[in-house]
Amino acid sequence: MAEKVVITQGKYLCSAVKKEQYPEERRKEIVFIGRSNVGKSSLINSLTRVHQLARVSSQPGKTQTINFYEIGAKIDDSPERRDFYLVDLPGYGYAKTGAQRRKIWSKFINEYLLTSEDLQFVCQLIDIRHAPMASDIEMFHWLVEHNLPVLVIATKADKVSRNGVTQGVAQIKKALGIPELDVLPYSSVKNTGREELLQVIGDCLLET
Ligand SMILES: Nc1nc2c(ncn2[C@@H]2O[C@H](COP(=O)(O)OP(=O)(O)OP(=O)(O)O)[C@@H](O)[C@H]2O)c(=O)[nH]1
Ligand SMILES: [Mg+2]
C-alpha cells in the first residue's frame, strides 16, 4: 500500500506504572522497547517531528515510566484524523539499575505488554553498531513467544557507513535467528527510515 501518512500533532498524555494510570480513552498503541540509551525517545521525536516531545539523555536510564504520547495522523487526503498512541518504555538491560529495580521494571512492563488490548505492534530497537546483547535476544524471543508482533529497528544508522548498515542488519538477523526478518535501519538525526516506519503505522491505522 502506498498511502501517505502525515503526523499532524504529537503531545505528551500521561505516564503509568500501573493499569489504573493507563489512558482512559482507548486508541491503537505502538510501543518502543530496547536497551537504555538505544534511542527510543529520540525516535519518537524524529517520527513526530515534535522537538523534545520525549525526553532524551546521553545518560542511560532516562525514561522510567510507561509514557503515552497522543498522536494525530492524516492518511492520504482523507479529512478524517486518526489518533493513536506512541508508547515509550524505560530501557532494559541497564547494568546500574540493579536486580531489585529490574524486577520492578519487568513487573509493570510485562503487565502492560501482556494485558493491553490496544497494542498493535512492538518496535524493538537495537543499536546498529553492536551485535545484539543477550538481553536483546531474550526480549525478542519473549515478545515472539507471547504472540506480540515485533518490528526490529536498527538505530543510530547515521553512525556507520552504508556498508556498516548492511553489516549491522545482517548481524541482527543472525543473532535473532531469523534470516528473513525485516530489520529497518533508522537514524533519528537524519530521519532515515522515517517514511518506511510511517508506512507501517499507516497500514496499521487503516486496519479495523
Ligand atoms: N547519532 C545518533 N545519536 C542518537 C540517535 N538516537 C539517539 N541518539 C543519542 O543516543 C542517546 C540516547 O537517546 P535516547 O533517545 O534518550 O535513548 P532511550 O532509548 O530513550 O534511553 P532511556 O530512556 O535511557 O532508555 C542520546 O544522546 C541521543 O542523542 C541517532 O539516530 N543517531
Ligand atoms: Mg528514553
Residue 123, C-alpha cell as written in the block: 518496535
Confidence of residue 85 (pLDDT cuts 50, 70, 90): very high
Residue 56, C-alpha cell as written in the block: 532524551
Q: What is the pTM of this model?
A: 0.93
Domain map (residue ranges) of the chain: 5-206
Q: Amino acid identity, residue 87?
A: V
Q: For position 58, what pLDDT does the model report?
A: 81
Residue keyed to cell 532494559: 92
The CATH superfamily holding the domain 5-206 is P-loop containing nucleotide triphosphate hydrolases (3.40.50.300)
Ligand with the closest atom to the CA of 34: 1
8-state DSSP, 133: P
Ligand 1, pocket-test mutation among 37, 52, 89, 194, most atoms within 8 A of CB: 37
Pocket of ligand 1 from Cβ distances under 6 Å? 34, 36-42, 56-58, 60-63, 90-91, 155-156, 158-159, 187-189
* Mean of pLDDT over the chain: 90
Q: For position 2, what pLDDT does the model report?
A: 57
